[in-house]
Structure 1
């Protein structure tokens, strides 16, 4: 039996790649679930609503780099969805960064990447956690969850995209103490981190990363990744390394957790 039994789910970054595949998996596997999918492209949101129907899915346009708009976005979502019990944060972009050619470096691009991959997550946590901490079912603390999609590159960096790696490392270092804080209450908030390897999505397309040829062919097939991710969510896991990420996680993370446990 699946432990991923949340009936109202908000998925940030669900119009393509991992997010879109996960949205489809949730809707297919959890017939009782209602999904709110958020992304920047209205046409992509319309496609998923048309496929699954307005009774199952709602599409909302929002740009996660608008940090100042997250408060209003959260208030609007929660005002019409007081039964929201799961937030999935999946927004992410990856760009090359080559310090051997400083003239090629765009500080605006670096800022956009870090805002998308890290600062927006902090913003969503700030404005949605109070709801989850107060969430009740039958007069008791109801289980809620925040699922954040990180990366294996947050554990082991890659030379060609150091800013992306830094943003995912920052997210990982945030999640560990966040999970400890949430374990002490208030509420019953589960913090889940996903560690994807390279996955065959448009993240690596040439229009986003001109230095990569045939980027969509890189990495783990998307359907295989999604199946493995869903198995981890359904098993109730808090840490979900996928594919080659499992071996990397197992070599690195237990020792890191042991050392982290020595700090207050």
Structure 2
């Protein structure tokens, strides 16, 4: 994937990992469009940056995604990269009958959202030069966090989908997976101050270094996520699952 001269669409770009990467890609000489549901956050994220643009998009709304895709291609015909970063993470108790609203929202946002956005833009991307799709999963795609079962499952599903998509789009669109470890963001309450989690700036800097490698790795994996990514190969899934159980 080229590191400069792109037009990049990044969902969930108003805060956290999305914002950090959007600003770094912008600083590297790319036009970047960030989306999200909170217009105020998006405007704050893009303030003072001429080629960093904000667009409101509800990634859970299929009709909104379809309309948005038409609008964004018309406004930015050079669009060649999409980064599916928007996601939600909720803790759930699944040991008794419950309201499944949180689980359903997680599936719609974290799995159907990226699938729908890719579908809406795939024809445009296959015709574009130097095109790429980046799907943001998680280290929890490989070893689940027991208190976030649907989130973990949604990221495992997106990992699998990304692998299949890479085969189908081979020679047409580069398909990359970015699997973060636990990072200090506000994905869950209090997460931004947890000492054991990776500082956001350090994560984003390491990620940008990995994207700059030639060729770009199919999986962007910072050092902090390797214990989870390699757990199965290491024969250590049970051990690392037991560790996550106590978090």
What TM-score range do you get, normalising by the shorter chain?
Answer: 0.7 to 0.9
Return the match for 1:233 from 211, 218, 228: 211
Note the residue ranges of structure 2 that are not aligned, 5 or more in a row. 236-247
Return the match for 1:72 from 59, 67, 70: 67
**1:17-56 CA distance string (max 9 Å, x none):** 100111111122x13x111111111111211332213xx1
C-alpha distance in structure 1 between counterparts of 2:127 and 2:119, whole Å: 14
C-alpha distance in structure 2 between counterparts of 1:215 and 1:195, whole Å: 17
Do structure 1's residue 93 and structure 2's residue 88 form an aligned pair?
A: yes
Quote how far apart the aligned CAs of 1:119 are: 0.5
Return the match for 1:196 from 180, 184, 204: 180
Q: Name the SS of the counterpart of 1:82 in structure 2.
A: coil
Aligned to 1:44: 41
Aligned to 1:16: 15
Distance change in 2, residues 1:253/1:72 (3 Å): farther
Q: Return the TM-score normalized by structure 1.
A: 0.82
- CA contact under 8 A between 1:6 and 1:85: conserved in structure 2? no
Aligned length: 231
- CA contact under 8 A between 2:140 and 2:228: conserved in structure 1? no
Quote how far apart the aligned CAs of 1:6 are: 4.3
Q: Name the SS of the counterpart of 1:203 in structure 2.
A: coil
Quote how far apart the aligned CAs of 1:83 are: 0.8
Distance change in 2, residues 1:148/1:6 (3 Å): farther
Return the match for 1:180 from 155, 163, 167: 167
Quote how far apart the aligned CAs of 1:231 are: 1.0
Note the residue ranges of structure 1 that are not aligned, 5 or more in a row. 136-141, 206-213, 256-264
Distance change in 2, residues 1:147/1:254 (3 Å): farther
C-alpha distance in structure 1 between counterparts of 2:127 and 2:234, whole Å: 32
For residues 131-146 of structure 1, the aligned pairs below 5 Å read 131-135=124-128, 142-146=129-133
Runs (4+) of structure 1 exceeding 4 A deviation are none
Aligned to 1:122: 115
Q: Name the SS of the counterpart of 2:150 in structure 1.
A: helix
Q: Return the TM-score normalized by structure 2.
A: 0.88
Distance change in 2, residues 1:6/1:115 (3 Å): farther
- CA contact under 8 A between 1:225 and 1:243: conserved in structure 2? no
Superposition CA RMSD, Å: 1.9
